[in-house]
Amino acid sequence: MADSTQRAAGATLEIRGLTVAVDDKEILTGVDLTIRAGETHAIMGPNGSGKSTLAYAIAGHPKYTVTGGTVTLDGEDVLAMAVDERARAGVFLAMQYPVEVPGVSVSNFLRSAATAIRGEAPKLRLWVKEQKEAMGRLKMDPAFAERNVNEGFSGGEKKRHEILQLELLQPKIAVLDETDSGLDVDALRVVSEGVNRVRESGRTGVLLITHYTRILNYIRPDFVHVFVGGRIVDEGGAELADELEANGYTKYDGAGVPAGGRELPRGPVAPGAVTTA
């Protein structure tokens, strides 16, 4: 965990009473979570509990309608920002299912993203070196730089490409949605090392969504949150992940899904916080 100096200097993402609907169906039922730079939080929960919905809502996916609550980054209203503004503000999402971008090479994509986020185009010569070194650390074949983004990439290659972006963009808050799924043992180690490098800078707060404690043996979380029925129903340290792996989620049956239907968000809902972003 980061020391207090790093924390004071770093960013804070605060989620309060967040409720989110998709196609009029309420998926998130009141999420409260604070992530500070240098901290690593793991979210574990059953399929369909809303973990990816939380990730998308933070990143600003238009299909996910925020119906209540607040998300702020260092006090700035994230929900009021467009998707690209969120990225520029320092919010990064590694998607569970990364999308293919035909016609755009990895190299062009990464340099455009770095330009948008850093506010100026990195000098070509320096950039080529920076990208090559980052790819080397992630054991990626340099030929990937010229391939179209995610087109024909294997599952594991897509995940490495997400972590390549993470390392090059150095966001304030990184949400990694099942970055470990489908990775072989060697790839899992390489990807975890990438996350740990970013984490050790102390400037990035990491939210790791996962089903497996396997990755948590490489990336030790400071906090583990249990996500059921669209909200956090339990919290603990790294040891909670081991307990979940042993016992599953049955002890939380019924949690998060209040009898009689929808429960109002617990946290205070700021006026104007409701948005259709």
Interface ranges with ligand ATP (CB under 6 A)? 22-23, 27, 45, 47-53, 63, 96
Least Å distance, CB 202 to ligand ATP, is 28
Residues that contact Mg ion, how many (by CB under 5 A): 3
Task: Tell the residue number behind the tokens 């330009």, with chain if given.
Answer: 115
Instruction: Tell whether residue 150 is a contact of Mg ion (CB under 5 A).
Output: no
Q: Which among 43-51, 115-123, 129-137, 239-247 is the span making contact with Mg ion, rule CB under 5 A?
A: 43-51
**CB under 5 to 8 A by kind: which of Mg ion, ligand ATP, none does 27 bind?**
ligand ATP
Q: Measured from the CB atom, is 255 or 270 closer to ligand ATP?
A: 255
The reply to whether 53 sits near Mg ion by the rule CB under 5 A is: no
CA atoms within 13 A on the CB side of 83: 11
Nearest CB to ligand ATP, comparing residues 146 and 253: 253
* Residue 3 contacts which entry, ligand ATP, Mg ion, none (Cβ below 5-8 A, type-dependent): none
Q: Which does 16 bind (CB under 5 to 8 A by kind): ligand ATP, Mg ion, none?
A: none
Any contact of residue 52 with Mg ion (CB under 5 A)?
yes
Least separation in angstroms between residue 143's CB and ligand ATP is 31
For the CB of residue 260, give the shortest distance to ligand ATP in the complex, in Å.
20
Minimum CB–partner distance for residue 58 and Mg ion (Å): 13
The residues of the shown chain that bind Mg ion, judged by CB under 5 A, are 51-52, 96
